[in-house]
Amino acid sequence: MTALQPQTVPVPVLDVDLEFLDIVTEWDVDTTFHHWRPGIVVPPTFRPAISPRVIALANQKGGVGKTITALELAMAYAARGLRVRLIDADPQKAALSAWLKETCYPADAKDRRTLRDVFFGEATLRETTYPTVYQGLYLVPSDPSLGDVENATPQQVFSPESLLRDALRADTEDWDITIIDSGPNLGKLTVAALVASDDVAIAVQDGGLEVVGTGSVVTTIKTVRKRMNPSLQVRAVFFTDFKKDSLHRRIGREMNKAFPDALIVPCRESTQAGWASLGKRPLRMHTPNEKPTLDYDRAADLLVAPKQKVS
């Protein structure tokens, strides 16, 4: 891994006077709709984790906001002076690596190692970790060839479910936060991300009731916890493109009931998110004061305690 970050761009800290959501202890279903305001649900027993921390983003569907959630959380932690590594475990062309392709070194794709090389024993995790132009933010890229892992034989990829966990343990670099963006299915790559993580965050949209109760992602998390990672816990549910309407209020209530120990984070809708994606820029850099940027920023502090400065 290249130690230096040439031409780094500082990630801005947000103004504390901006329109952040309120912090509440349960989802409000009693206030009349006209006066109702959504808030970030923080259960009374919830406490921020201490870094270093590995967080996986998961759902069994694509297009629910996993990638933007992973990226904006990472940018929020980088803004706090933390050393953050994003691992792209999604083989889709429109995944995290496509967003950060122009900001990652080396720029020449033919010289770049990817997460596939780690799974097939052709490179270490350290050798596939590249700095981006954003200060404190590093990326383990992927491409569609990562999908080969799903059909690999045991001779090609030994124990794929635990391989990423073992690669993280073997990496002696110091990372404050590692965020793994998993793919849109619950195959070997997503299981590997869950096995490697301390926490899992679920991203859902307005059709997201399938994650409640017997949803496939919940079942997979329970299986991974039982068999390979007993400490894994759902620490947050991110409700992307959140709108103030009756449907979203109802789904928020159902999510709060289904995940009573997790943060419930409404990430307010924004037309700028699409423009940021087209421009291959994080929303935080494209429009720092946009409402979803504020929601991800607040959630970052709630998930992991701010780094203490040594005096």
Mean pLDDT of 53-61: 88
146 or 273, which is more confident: 146
- On the 0-12 / 13-18 / 19+ scale of CB atoms within 10 A, 107 is exposed
Confidence band of 248 (pLDDT split at 50, 70, 90): confident
CA distance 248 to 164: 35
Any domain includes 2: no
Number of structural domains in the chain: 1
pLDDT tens across 2-13, in order?
445 555 899 999
pLDDT tens across 75-96, in order?
999 999 999 999 999 998 767 8
Confidence band of 17 (pLDDT split at 50, 70, 90): confident
Mean pLDDT of 290-294: 92
Mean pLDDT of 161-182: 95
Residue 270 has what pLDDT?
A: 84
204 or 53, which is more confident: 53
Any domain includes 34: no
Least confident of 52-56, 169-173, 176-180: 169-173
Any domain includes 310: no
Any domain includes 180: yes
CA angle at 56 for the pair 52 and 57, rounded to the nearest 5°: 140
CA distance 193 to 184: 12
Question: What's this model's pTM, rounded to 2 decimal places?
Answer: 0.93
Any domain includes 44: no
Any domain includes 262: yes
Say which amino acid occupies 218.
V
Any domain includes 309: no
Find the DSSP H helices in the chain: 66-79, 96-100, 115-119, 160-170, 188-196, 216-227, 246-258, 272-278, 283-286, 291-303
Q: What is the DSSP letter of 296?
A: H
Say which amino acid occupies 225.
R
| Per-residue pLDDT at 208 exceeds 60 | no
List the CATH number of the domain containing 103: 3.40.50.300
| Per-residue pLDDT at 127 exceeds 80 | yes
| Per-residue pLDDT at 61 exceeds 70 | no
Least confident of 5-9, 100-104, 125-129: 5-9
- What the block records as the tokens of 308 is 């203490």
Residue 155 has what pLDDT?
A: 86
Mean pLDDT of 192-221: 80
Any domain includes 202: yes
Indicate the average pLDDT of the chain.
87
Mean pLDDT of 146-160: 91
Range of the domain at 208: 49-302
